[in-house]
Structure 1
Amino acid sequence: MTQPLLHIDALSIAFRQQDETRTVVNDISLQIAEGETLALVGESGSGKSVTALSVLRLLPTPPVVFPQGDILFRGQSLLHADERTLRGVRGNKIAMIFQEPMVSLNPLHTLEKQLYEVLSLHRGMRKEAARGEMLDCLDRTGIRNAAKRLGDFPHQLSGGERQRVMIAMALLTRPELLIADEPTTALDVTVQAQILQLLRELRDELNMSLLFITHNLGIVKKLADRVAVMQNGRCVEQNTTSALFTAPQHPYTQRLLDSEPAGDPVPLAQDAEPLLRVEDLSVAFPVRKGLLRRVVESKQVLSNVSFTLRPGETLGLVGESGSGKSTTGLALLRLIASRGTILFDGQPLHSWDRRQMLPVRHRMQVVFQDPNSSLNPRLNVQQIIEEGLRVHQPGLSLQVREEEVITVMREVGLDPETRHRYPAAFSGGQRQRIAIARALILRPELIILDEPTSSLDKTVQAQILALLKDLQKKHRLAYIFISHDLQVVRALCHQVIVLRQGEVVEQGECQRVFAAPTQAYTRQLLALR
């Protein structure tokens, strides 16, 4: 039997704080052969990322300790290696794609500088030769107009583009083992398909091994040779991909496979009067150039979007990154300038200024994609959720505000006793519930949900979808649901608009569009589910 490329042998990982030691990974054993893809799946907090970071010794020691076990790369221990050995392995032989690109990319350097640094350090390339390599890799990862984008800074890219740059940086080193920690979480299905195809091609071309951490079981089925399932720090099941999906043995694995979005939208009252009417909504951004930053042209990013939304109804907006989904939401909230008609409960919001909008702000709320960045880390949960009440109902007493917070936390499935904790003390799913509670406490009639489940595990995603349906049924909430996950859209939405580069490609009743799409682009999106 040939020696595995990577062998994690009976490894335990613990966090030591003062006199207490808490084990977070318990006696886990994994092997990856050359050219093999192993998927590591499980819920948040199961120990997936901690295990992956331990391979390259990226966790601080202390407080992290390794009570037992070892990590062997080509038979050499990484846990007991010196820093010089580790520097020779990191990046050169083992590369890693992290989940959050904004944490990993330097905000002060251009893409060209950061990409060249990788090629200079790990492959000793000169700048002239490196440029062609950089452009080729960016193009293969789906960055449009790569030559023009090299001068951009990370904040000038969309979330999906930043993730693609991170993938390009890791692949430039041509590693023997690539560790990918949720690399496609923020990407829409077309780009996701491109990235998976790219990883497959490079795996075959370089005979590269891949440790792929994800909560998307659809990706696992398409990419992985074998699957390891983790729960509460333990590996509860390992098998080939086909065997695990065909006949899962462990109850937790069975629950994961059963948690794919399903069901129908909340039944809609047919006689309901429209809450929101939108006609020919368009958005153009000014392009400024020169020393004085004069406007020289305008870039059209959204064109002629029209729809009607009733109380208790959900409209899904789907499409690739840059298609205009989030722009539509911001325009409806009057947070960016737009043209066209926006009638909310008969009121012409399109003609109102900021002061006129204030009285209706509480009736239109938003839940953002990433609760980590939308929740203030310096405020506790009580302060975060009650913030809207302070602004829109300043006359409420402290006691009444606290009672309202307790009520809404129970409503979204959070323990009110945790209201004095800070966001860092909560899991990703709990933080998203906090964000929903913050929007819900003002008792809005319309909530814009911008990718609210994209970064969540499937089991947590199913919980959030069930919560949104329950809240919609109870309060007759209207939702505008922005997503690239078509299974989620089908389970929640009554009607759907498919956007591409700011244009409406297809629009109609959700079940009809999914069953019989009329446009080639819609069929392409559905084929990539």
Structure 2
Amino acid sequence: MTQPLLAIERLSVGFSKQGIVRTVVNDVSLCVEAGETLALVGESGSGKSVTALSILRLLPSPPAVYLAGDIRFHGESLLHASEHTLRGVRGNKIAMIFQEPMVSLNPLHSLEKQLYEVLSLHRGMRREAARGEILSCLDRVGIRQAARRLGDYPHQLSGGERQRVMIAMALLTRPELLLADEPTTALDVSVQAQILQLLRELQHELNMGMLFITHNLSIVKKLADTIAVMQNGQCVEQNRAQPLLNAPTHPYTQKLLNSEPSGDPVPLSAQQAPLLEVDQLRVAFPIRKGILKRVVDQNEVVKNVSFSLQPGETLGLVGESGSGKSTTGLALLRLIASQGRIVFDGQPLHNLSRRQLLPVRHRIQVVFQDPNSSLNPRLSVLQIIEEGLRVHQPALSAQQREQQVKSVMAEVGLDGETRHRYPAEFSGGQRQRIAIARALILKPSLIILDEPTSSLDKTVQAQILALLKSLQQKHRLAYIFISHDLHVVRALCHQVIVLRQGEVVEQGPCERVFTAPQQAYTRQLLALS
């Protein structure tokens, strides 16, 4: 009987703190064959990423402790291998797409430099030959006008574009095994379909094995040969894809499969004065060239977006990554320069200075797309969530602030006893819930939600959607909901705007757009979802 490409044998991993070891992966056994895909699914914090990081021994030790078991690649132990051996495996034979691209990409280096470094180190290519391969790979993962983007830095890309660059970086080495940790989280459905097709093609071409970590069950159905379900650090069910999806035996697996977003938006009250009015919003970034970096042109990324939003209403912004959704949100927050008219609760915001905006800030809150980069790693969760109270409600005592923090943490499904921990001690989904709690604590009138559920598993996503709806009904909150998950948009939004390359393709009541789309691009998005 031939050996599997990768075999994880009864692996147990813990984290030590002050001499006490907390087990986070317990007795997990998995197997990945060459040319096949194993999907690892489960809640945030269930041990999926820890399992994947253990394969290449990327967990910091200490505090990480390998308590038992082994990990074998082509029959050779990786847990007991030397650093020299591991350096020959990492990147060359086993590549990894990390969960958070903004953290994984170097903010000080251009895309070309970072991608060339991969080819130089792992395949010994010269820059001239590497450039063609880099452009080809960027084109395959859906980066438009790749030649023009090589000089860009990570902060100049959207979240989805950064994720595509990470995928390109992993695939450039043509690995035998790909560890993909939520690789499609920040991608819209059209690019997601393109990436899945690319992975299937490369898998067939290279006979590549793949460990695919995700909470998106629609992707699992399209891609996986085998599925393993994790809960609280243990593998509770494992089987070939079709038998597991058609007849799951474990109650937790059944719960996951029944957690797709559903339901209707919160009913609107009678027509009332708009909370937010936006007219002809435009955003353009200067293109600079030459030694003196003079402005030679303008890159218009948002073009003439107009809408109105009443209290208690939700507007969905959907479209491809890089279509201008997040840029629109930043412009409404007055965090970037824009042209056009923005009126909030009868007060024009577009002409106000930074100081004049301060009294309005607490009424408009935001949950950013990447919770890891929006949470200060040096502050505890208590300090992060209470920061807004310190600024806008300085009369509150420390005890009153702490009590409010515990209450809002409970609302978003976090244990208040963890408030003294730091962001690095939480999973990606838990960090997103911290970011949502920070926005909710000031009880704003409007919250701009930029992909707030993209890093959450389906069960927690359903909880967050229910929470957003209940808060909306109780406090008449208005939301601007930026997302590429059309199921979530339909369950939450009253009206929707479809953006493509900064332009409004379609706009109208959510139910009408979903049931009778007028434009071919909208129909394409719905067909892929």
Same topology, TM > 0.5: yes
Shift of the 22–222 alpha-carbon distance from structure 1 to 2, 3 Å rule, reads same
Query: Matched residues, percent identical?
Result: 80
Between 189-198 and 382-391, report the one with greater CA deviation.
Answer: 382-391
Q: 1:184: how far off?
A: 1.2
Residue in structure 1 matched with residue 518 of structure 2 by the alignment: 518
Residue in structure 1 matched with residue 468 of structure 2 by the alignment: 468
Helix, strand or coil: the match of 1:350?
A: coil
**Does 2:138 correspond to 1:141?**
no
Residue in structure 2 matched with residue 166 of structure 1 by the alignment: 166
> Separation in 2 of the partners of 1:252 and 1:429?
18
Q: Could you tell me which amino acid in structure 2 is paired with residue 67 of structure 1?
A: L
> Separation in 1 of the partners of 2:454 and 2:147?
30
Q: 1:195: how far off?
A: 1.0
Residues 439-485 of structure 1: per-residue CA shift (max 9 Å, x gap):
23333211111111111111111111111111001001011101111
Shift of the 17–396 alpha-carbon distance from structure 1 to 2, 3 Å rule, reads closer
Helix, strand or coil: the match of 1:46?
A: coil
Residue in structure 2 matched with residue 92 of structure 1 by the alignment: 92
Q: 1:2: how far off?
A: 3.3
> Separation in 1 of the partners of 2:82 and 2:380?
41
Question: In the alignment, is the contact (CA less than 8 A) between 2:102 and 2:373 conserved in 1?
Answer: no
> Separation in 2 of the partners of 1:463 and 1:132?
46
Residue in structure 2 matched with residue 27 of structure 1 by the alignment: 27
Residue in structure 1 matched with residue 110 of structure 2 by the alignment: 110
Residue in structure 2 matched with residue 373 of structure 1 by the alignment: 373
Between 179-188 and 147-156, report the one with greater CA deviation.
Answer: 147-156
Between 128-137 and 287-296, report the one with greater CA deviation.
Answer: 287-296
**Does 2:150 correspond to 1:150?**
yes
Residues 192-227 of structure 1: per-residue CA shift (max 9 Å, x gap):
111111100000111111111111111111111111
> Separation in 1 of the partners of 2:156 and 2:405?
37
Q: 1:58: how far off?
A: 2.2
> Separation in 2 of the partners of 1:233 and 1:138?
36
Shift of the 174–294 alpha-carbon distance from structure 1 to 2, 3 Å rule, reads closer
Shift of the 270–137 alpha-carbon distance from structure 1 to 2, 3 Å rule, reads same
> Separation in 2 of the partners of 1:387 and 1:17?
27
Shift of the 356–21 alpha-carbon distance from structure 1 to 2, 3 Å rule, reads closer
Residue in structure 2 matched with residue 285 of structure 1 by the alignment: 285
> Separation in 2 of the partners of 1:414 and 1:90?
35
Residues 36-83 of structure 1: per-residue CA shift (max 9 Å, x gap):
111111112222122212222223445434333222222222223333
Residues 144-197 of structure 1: per-residue CA shift (max 9 Å, x gap):
222232233333332222222221222122111111111111212221111111
* Equivalent runs, 1:103-502 vs 2, <5 Å: 103-398=103-398, 400-402=400-402, 404-502=404-502
Q: Could you tell me which amino acid in structure 2 is paired with residue 238 of structure 1?
A: Q
Q: 1:416: how far off?
A: 4.5
> Separation in 2 of the partners of 1:330 and 1:5?
46
Between 296-305 and 244-253, report the one with greater CA deviation.
Answer: 296-305
Q: Mind listing any 5+ residue stretches in structure 1 that lack a counterpart? A: none
Residues 272-323 of structure 1: per-residue CA shift (max 9 Å, x gap):
3321222222222233334444333322211221112111110000011221
Q: How many residues align?
A: 529
Residue in structure 1 matched with residue 70 of structure 2 by the alignment: 70
**TM-score, scaled to structure 1:** 0.94
> Separation in 2 of the partners of 1:168 and 1:130?
13
Between 513-522 and 275-284, report the one with greater CA deviation.
Answer: 275-284
Q: Could you tell me which amino acid in structure 2 is paired with residue 442 of structure 1?
A: L
**TM-score, scaled to structure 2:** 0.94
> Separation in 2 of the partners of 1:205 and 1:258?
35
> Separation in 2 of the partners of 1:476 and 1:134?
49
> Separation in 1 of the partners of 2:524 and 2:103?
33
Q: Mind listing any 5+ residue stretches in structure 2 that lack a counterpart? A: none
> Separation in 2 of the partners of 1:34 and 1:234?
24
Q: Could you tell me which amino acid in structure 1 is paired with residue 121 of structure 2?
A: L
Q: Could you tell me which amino acid in structure 2 is paired with residue 188 of structure 1?
A: D
> Separation in 2 of the partners of 1:398 and 1:63?
32
Shift of the 156–332 alpha-carbon distance from structure 1 to 2, 3 Å rule, reads closer
